[in-house]
């Protein structure tokens, strides 16, 4: 292959359905034409934001209290800093001791396939947690206030021939996963029938705009006002509380885009009502979480004061 062929492949023929091809070529170019799989894999893991957030959560919980109690290190502004003083001339030797400790730990704790739920599955883990951001058995979901951890569980255990494929994997919290062990092959994922019966799951992809890989965006079929728009998770979630951090961040980004697009299309829009109906008693009629963006215009009702408080009419005015 000629040099120009490689350039032409990178520019024109390399399909970026994933980061793999580009990373392999990049590392080989940076290392005189060759690169170790481990080096590429570490780079890949560092680019997987869900894995990064997973380890940030562990770092905030597990070492913090012990290191603080011993006066060794503390956290401030999302950074660890050493409280302990040390001889700067001994830095290299201290680093060597830490590296030796890590090597000894790795030798004593060989990582099995079953343990990988606690250490990240890279892009596969990202896809699973995007679809199922909570334990599919007990419903537990990680928050900054709890210590819930989500594992990737084999439905058919690997010890019984179960493959490491998405079709054989589900999300369980660490507690349910440990209790389940290899004693059952129960599949706790939502059935395809439930997805088929969902009006959003069955039609969302047909009427959405191409604004996001995580959400469908389309006009409400029964609008409250003109250009009433819905933002709907592509994964089948009943409640918005089932959404993960990446989904909430994406929802915020999309809300800004949709509001701007609506006002460009209709400059008479001067305000919005934004929000979810969560549960039957709140008025939710489609049991698939969906975010309403309802444009408001001056004079569309006589007295808009109280806004969303009008869900209980006698409480709207205050």
Q: Which residue has the higher pLDDT, 214 or 300?
A: 300
Best CA proximity match to 287, nearest among 242, 238, 243: 238
In this prediction, residue 106 carries a pLDDT of 66
pTM of the model: 0.47
Residue 306: left if φ>0, alpha if ψ -120 to 50, beta else—which one? Answer: left
Domain boundaries 194-315, corresponding CATH code: 3.30.428.10
Q: Which residue has the higher pLDDT, 255 or 165?
A: 255
Best CA proximity match to 84, nearest among 98, 68, 95: 68
In this prediction, residue 111 carries a pLDDT of 46
Burial class of 289 by CB neighbour count within 10 A (0 to 12, 13 to 18, 19+): buried
Q: Which residue has the higher pLDDT, 3 or 39?
A: 39
Of 25-34, 155-164, 227-236, highest mean pLDDT: 227-236
Q: Is 245 helix (H, G, I), strand (E, B) or coil?
A: helix
In this prediction, residue 50 carries a pLDDT of 60
Averaged over 233-261, what is the pLDDT?
A: 88
User: Could you tell me if 28 and 35 are in contact, meaning their C-beta atoms sit under 8 angstroms apart?
Assistant: yes
In this prediction, residue 217 carries a pLDDT of 93
In this prediction, residue 68 carries a pLDDT of 86
In this prediction, residue 194 carries a pLDDT of 65
pLDDT per position as a tens digit, 275-292: 999 999 999 999 899 999
Averaged over 50-68, what is the pLDDT?
A: 74
Q: Which long-range contacts (CB under 8 A, 24 or more apart) does 146-152 make?
A: 147/61, 148/173, 148/174, 149/118, 149/173, 149/174, 150/117, 150/174, 151/117, 151/118, 151/177, 152/116, 152/117, 152/121, 152/124, 152/125, 152/128
Name which of 99-103, 112-116, 227-231 the model is least confident about: 112-116
Averaged over 105-120, what is the pLDDT?
A: 51
Instruction: Round to whole Å and give the CA distance between 304 and 317.
Output: 9
Task: Say whether pLDDT at 112 is over 70.
Answer: no
**DSSP states of 45-56 as a string?**
HHT-HHHHHHHH
Q: Where in the chain is the domain with CATH 3.30.428.10?
A: 194-315
In this prediction, residue 116 carries a pLDDT of 44
Mean pLDDT of the chain: 81
Of 74-83, 179-188, 274-283, highest mean pLDDT: 274-283
CA end-to-end span of the chain, whole Å? 75
Name which of 6-10, 72-76, 136-140, 260-264 the model is least confident about: 136-140
> What are the DSSP E strand ranges found in the chain?
73-76, 79-82, 150-154, 169-173, 215-219, 229-233, 269-276, 291-297
B/e letters for 95-117, b = 16+ CB within 10 Å, e = fewer, are eeeeeeeeeeeeeeeeeeebebb
In this prediction, residue 150 carries a pLDDT of 85
């Amino acid at each position: 292959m000629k040099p120009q062929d490689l350039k032409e492949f990178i520019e024109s023929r390399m399909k970026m359905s994933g980061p793999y091809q580009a990373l392999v070529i990049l590392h080989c170019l940076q290392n005189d034409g060759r690169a170790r799989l481990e080096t590429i894999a570490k780079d890949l893991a560092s680019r997987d934001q869900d894995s990064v957030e997973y380890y940030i959560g562990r770092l905030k919980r597990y070492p913090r209290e012990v290191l603080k109690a011993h006066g060794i290190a503390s956290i401030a502004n999302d950074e660890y800093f050493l409280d302990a003083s040390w001889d700067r001339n001994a830095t290299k030797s201290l680093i060597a001791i830490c590296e030796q400790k890590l090597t000894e730990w790795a030798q004593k704790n060989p990582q099995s396939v079953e343990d990988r739920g606690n250490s990240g599955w890279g892009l596969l883990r990202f896809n699973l947690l995007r679809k199922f951001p909570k334990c599919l058995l007990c419903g537990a979901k990680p928050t900054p206030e709890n210590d819930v951890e989500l594992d990737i569980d084999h439905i058919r255990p690997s010890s019984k021939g179960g493959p490491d494929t998405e079709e054989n994997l589900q999300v369980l919290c660490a507690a349910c996963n440990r209790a389940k062990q290899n004693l059952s092959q129960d599949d706790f994922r939502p059935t395809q029938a439930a997805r088929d019966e969902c009006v959003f799951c069955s039609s969302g992809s047909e009427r959405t705009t191409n604004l996001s890989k995580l959400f469908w965006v389309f006009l409400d079929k029964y609008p409250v006002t003109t250009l009433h728009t819905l933002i709907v998770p592509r994964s089948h979630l009943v409640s918005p509380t089932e959404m993960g951090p990446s989904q909430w961040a994406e929802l915020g980004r999309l809300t800004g885009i949709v509001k701007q697009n609506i006002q460009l299309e209709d400059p008479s829009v001067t305000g919005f009502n934004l929000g979810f109906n969560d549960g039957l008693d709140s008025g939710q009629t489609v049991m698939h979480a969906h975010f309403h963006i309802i444009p408001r215009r001056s004079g569309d009702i006589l007295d808009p004061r109280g806004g969303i408080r009008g869900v209980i009419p006698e409480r709207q005015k205050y």
